[in-house]
């Protein structure tokens, strides 16, 4: 049995599927007044502000943003055994438990997307993510036995998670329920940083955490932010297209960066909670544009699970700007939703 590992969690996210591209100009553009890159949540982040308000220093802002990101890490990460989320996962208490407002916001949005996607998106997929070797526990690099999948599926289902946003309490009605916020927490972190920048008076910024992006205003060349969508190929990093955008968030999900292969079969890190299997279809990448990065992040994963036909129906029905990339015998084919076309036309 040949096992081939391509990219795994921690290293993977540095190679995110959307990234920023520069422009060739005769004279170099002015440096960003804030240019902050580091690591968080088992991934990397990049924060750029074209200009800072007079009384705001980059050093102060960095400290403030680092505190925000560290707090989110200690609340939402499954890679931190002591995080608020990890403690909830480890507990087998089936009565109501108090949570932070941050955890509540993310879980509430996750549950909304689960309903919308009829369970294709489901944060209670955590035990399956671990069984398949894509979680915080060590990677197995083999497809699990059908019996193991079936046994674990009994412990999965967003219907087993109840939330009370007013009282800031959540409840699992089966002791084994465990949550994985990897497909939504990065987006939320982007939004929180963006809001903090706005509160500090920053008008022109780009925030990226693990490939999820939110932009506002203009870049250091006085134009919109150029965000590149990658061609969905595993071995090379080639541009599919460049989006000049502003005042919006963008998230891409794909099956071509984080996966392992056994005997020529690719097992992606996105799992269909209803079958317990990793996704297998011709939809290889989904990009979603949305005012918040949290929603874009979750929707992109939900659409990947649904597959092209169902995802397109839902995206049109909900008026979501999405670009689907399909793998066909003649190459990659782009399928935009009506809202995507509207947005791209309006904003260019
Ligand atoms: P991508 O950029 O491909 O969307 P993300 O890191 O944003 O990658 O989301 C993928 C992660 O989400 C997986 O590694 C796993 O932890 C989790 N996940 C997998 N399947 C699902 C699902 N059906 N619903 C919600 N989360 C999922
Ligand atoms: Mg995502």
> Distances from the Cα of 314 to the Cαs of 63, 82, 173, in angstroms?
41, 37, 29
Atom of ligand 1 nearest to the CA of 120: 23
Report the nearest-CA residue for atom 23 of ligand 1: 121
Atom of ligand 1 nearest to the CA of 255: 3
Calpha distance 206→213 (Å, rounded): 7
The encoded tokens of residue 131 equal: 């069984």
Q: Is 183 close to ligand 1, i.e. is its CB under 6 Å away? A: yes
Atom of ligand 1 nearest to the CA of 305: 23
Q: Is 134 close to ligand 1, i.e. is its CB under 6 Å away? A: yes
Report the nearest-CA residue for atom 1 of ligand 1: 253
Determine the distance separating the centroid of ligand 1 and the alpha carbon of 123, expressed in angstroms: 9
Q: Is 300 close to ligand 1, i.e. is its CB under 6 Å away? A: yes
pLDDT at 25: 57
Strand partners, 225: 245
Q: Is 219 close to ligand 1, i.e. is its CB under 6 Å away? A: no
The encoded tokens of residue 111 equal: 């549950």
Calpha distance 115→298 (Å, rounded): 12
Determine the distance separating the centroid of ligand 1 and the alpha carbon of 335, expressed in angstroms: 22
pTM across the whole model: 0.91
Q: Which of 78, 116, 158, 183 to mutate to test the pocket of ligand 1 (most atoms within 8 A of CB)?
A: 183
Q: Is the dihedral of CA 11, 321, 317, 338 positive or negative?
A: negative
> Distances from the Cα of 261 to the Cαs of 162, 180, 331, in angstroms?
36, 23, 21
Do 31 and 220 meet the contact criterion of CB atoms below 8 Å apart? yes
pLDDT at 5: 29
Q: What is the pLDDT along the chain (348 residues), one digit of tens a residue?
A: 222 223 222 222 333 456 666 655 567 889 999 999 999 878 899 999 999 999 999 999 999 999 999 999 999 999 899 999 999 999 999 999 999 999 999 999 999 999 999 999 999 999 999 898 887 766 667 888 999 999 999 999 999 999 999 999 999 999 999 999 999 999 999 999 999 999 999 999 999 999 999 999 999 999 999 998 877 776 767 777 889 999 999 999 986 666 676 667 777 889 999 999 999 889 999 999 999 999 999 999 999 999 999 999 999 999 999 999 999 999 889 999 999 999 987 655
Report the nearest-CA residue for atom 9 of ligand 1: 183
pLDDT at 248: 97
Which ligand minimizes its atom distance to the CA of 121? 1
Determine the distance separating the centroid of ligand 1 and the alpha carbon of 276, expressed in angstroms: 13
pLDDT at 228: 87
The encoded tokens of residue 36 equal: 């902050």
Report the nearest-CA residue for atom 12 of ligand 1: 183
Q: Is 230 close to ligand 1, i.e. is its CB under 6 Å away? A: no
Classify residue 256 by its DSSP letter: S
Please tell me the number of Cα atoms within 13 Å of 173 on its side-chain side.
Answer: 7
């Amino acid at each position: 049995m040949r096992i081939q590992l391509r990219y795994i969690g921690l290293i993977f996210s540095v190679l995110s599927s959307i990234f920023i591209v520069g422009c060739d100009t005769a004279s170099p553009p002015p440096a960003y007044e804030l240019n902050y890159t580091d690591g968080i949540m088992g991934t990397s982040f990049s924060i750029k502000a074209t200009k800072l308000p007079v009384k705001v220093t980059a050093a102060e802002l960095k400290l403030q943003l680092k505190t925000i990101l560290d707090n989110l890490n200690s609340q939402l990460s499954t890679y931190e055994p002591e995080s608020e989320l990890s403690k909830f996962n480890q507990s087998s208490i089936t009565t109501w438990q108090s949570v932070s407002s941050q955890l509540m916001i993310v879980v509430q949005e996750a549950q909304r997307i689960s309903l919308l996607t009829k369970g294709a998106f489901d944060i209670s997929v955590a035990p399956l993510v671990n069984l398949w070797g894509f979680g915080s526990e060590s990677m197995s690099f083999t497809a699990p036995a059908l019996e193991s999948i079936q046994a674990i599926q009994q412990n999965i289902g967003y219907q087993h998670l109840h939330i009370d946003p007013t009282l800031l309490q959540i409840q699992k009605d089966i002791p084994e329920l465990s949550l994985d916020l990897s497909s939504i927490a990065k987006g939320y972190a982007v939004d929180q940083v963006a809001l903090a920048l706005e509160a500090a008076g920053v008008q022109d910024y780009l925030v990226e955490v693990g490939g999820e992006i939110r932009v506002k205003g203009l870049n250091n060349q006085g134009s919109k932010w150029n965000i590149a969508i990658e061609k969905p190929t595993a071995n090379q990093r080639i541009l599919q297209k460049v989006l000049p955008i502003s005042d919006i968030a963008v998230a891409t999900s794909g099956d071509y960066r984080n996966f392992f292969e056994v005997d020529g079969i690719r097992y992606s890190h996105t799992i269909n909670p209803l079958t317990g299997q990793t996704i297998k279809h011709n939809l290889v990448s989904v990009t979603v544009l949305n005012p918040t990065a949290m929603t874009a992040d979750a929707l992109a994963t939900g659409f990947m699970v649904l597959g092209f036909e169902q995802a397109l129906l839902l995206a049109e029905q909900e008026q979501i700007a999405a670009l689907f990339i399909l793998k066909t015998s003649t190459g990659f084919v782009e399928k935009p939703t009506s809202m995507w076309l509207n947005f791209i036309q309006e904003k260019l």
